[in-house]
């Protein structure tokens, strides 16, 4: 996943300067919201960055196609509900 040094240096420098370091991630253009693999991958990334001392996170869905894939269409009523479920699944019961 990530090498600790660059991120821990940034996180520590931000903390020393009184700034909140926010780790932002986009799930990707080919996301399947109902995919356990996609959820697990993001959870591991967030947990790893949290282990480096990061306490603030942003999951960005702004550049993702608003059309749900076939697997998600049968599970979610809307794009917003798919995103909300994905976010909650990635962050609840997690170390972040």
59, 87 contact by CB (below 8 A): yes
Extended beta strands in the chain, E state: 22-25, 56-59
Would you call 62 a catalytic residue per the annotation?
no
Backbone dihedral angles phi then psi of residue 42, each to the nearest 5 degrees: -65, -40
Q: Please pick, among 62, 63, 70, 93, the residue that the annotation labels catalytic.
A: 63
Catalytically active residues are 63
């Amino acid at each position: 996943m990530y090498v600790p040094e660059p991120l821990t240096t940034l996180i520590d420098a931000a903390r020393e300067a009184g700034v909140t370091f926010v780790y932002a991630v986009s799930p990707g253009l080919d996301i399947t919201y109902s995919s356990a693999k996609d959820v697990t991958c993001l959870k591991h990334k967030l947990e790893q960055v949290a282990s480096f001392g990061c306490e603030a996170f942003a999951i960005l869905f702004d550049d993702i196609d608003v059309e749900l894939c076939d697997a998600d269409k049968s599970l979610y009523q809307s794009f917003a509900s798919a995103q909300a479920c994905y976010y909650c699944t990635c962050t609840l019961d997690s170390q972040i």
